[in-house]
Structure 1
Amino acid sequence: MNPLTVFGVMVVIISLVCFFYLLQSRSKWGVLGFGLSGILVAIYEFLDGNWWFGVFGAVWSLIGLGRWWLGRNSN
């Protein structure tokens, strides 16, 4: 496996772990992890040449980071 594939597998695993709403609803750090993993997904997709999926990952990261930003002072 080349380094890009290894990076992609790690990004997908991190994204799936952070995507679970159970984790997100219990912790603001789960929401932050989801937003940051979206950035990693976008980086991977751009490096792999999948521009549309890179844009999609960037949008999801903005949504996750926005949710974290708005909810960081609650509780």
Structure 2
Amino acid sequence: MDALTLFGLFAVSGMLATYALERRAHWFILGFAAFCALGSVYGFLQGAWPFGLVEGVWAIVALVRWKHAILNWDTIDAQADSKHT
């Protein structure tokens, strides 16, 4: 197994792990975006530009989802704090 294949395995394994944990914390959504970006780099380096392009789009979508998650978590935290006071 060459270094490029190991890099690709790392990227998609990270995508799978962070996607599975997204509901636990918004940081996993950010991690998913980062691993999607790595998957995009892998796709372009491998010569599979459609894969690289789609993974790049997924990275952008995940960043937008992360931004919305931060806003929602802050709202949820504020609501929880107001109930306890």
Matched, 1:17 2:17: yes
Q: Deviations over 1:5-64 (max 9, x none)?
A: 1111111111110111xx111200011011111100000000000010111100110010
1:27 pairs, out of 14, 17, 25, with 25
Offset of residue 70 of structure 1 = 2.3
State the TM-score, normalizing by the size of structure 2. Answer: 0.79
Query: Which residue of structure 2 lines up, in the alignment, with residue 47 of structure 1?
Result: 45
Structure 2: gaps of 5 or more residues: 75-85
Q: What is the Cα-based RMSD across aligned positions, in Å?
A: 1.1
Structure 1: gaps of 5 or more residues: none
Structure of higher RCO (CA pairs closer than 8 Å, 6+ residues apart):
1
State the TM-score, normalizing by the size of structure 1. Answer: 0.89
- AA of the residue aligned to 2:24: R
